[in-house]
Amino acid sequence: MVWKDFVYKNIIEHCNIAGSRTFSLQELLEERLDIFKNFRPNNKHVEAKVRQQLQFLRDDKLISFLDNSGHYTLRGIDLLNSEAEEIKTIDLTKEVPEKREYIIETYVRHVSWAKKARETFGDFCMFNHCNNTFMREDGTRYIEVHHIIPLCKGGEEGLWNLSVLCAHHHRMAHYSDAKTRLTVEEYLLKKVYDKWNYTG
């Protein structure tokens, strides 16, 4: 096995243990430095080698760089072990492919990125003048977190790619005609971009 494949295999194992697609180089090395050293005992610059392989994996679109603090998102696999276990409880056999993507997303959005999205964008639909929401029994407002560009189409787990929508607009983003879906995607990406410029 070559270095790149070995590092990618260990990233997948690390993410499965953590239950999150997001990881940092520091976390990866803290957990697996000895494993990397044992892989090629004669290599005296293991940390630099792992860093190099991360760049190769980024070029291959198997991971994505998230921010300036050294965080990455795992790509190239559809589901982590924990996600696959959750999906087993959902009957997908009678759903069309587009709906499968939506159902999987309803699970994925419960990870920490969804919490960050709600903290950043609030609990009202990002469509202008939309008040289509309601209060839940616990006193919180119901809102759905949406991947603007779906993970299966190259989207990433990052705030730049997340939005908060009411149930109606969330379904519009997934199930409307292709032209409308593209318009919604462009609209939401601009809303997120404008918010970053305003707050940053």
pLDDT 10s digits, 91-143: 444 444 443 444 344 444 445 777 888 888 998 999 998 988 888 888 888 88
pLDDT tens sequence across 175-196: 899 999 999 999 999 988 887 6
The SS3 of residue 144 is: strand
CB 138 within 8 Å of CB 2 = no
Top pLDDT among 91 and 41 is at: 41
| CATH number belonging to domain 3-74 | 1.10.10.10
DSSP string, 40-93: STT-S-HHHHHHHHHHHHHHTTSEEE--TTSEEEE-SSS--HHHHHHHTTS--T
Residue ranges of the chain assigned to CATH 1.10.10.10: 3-74
pTM comes to: 0.48
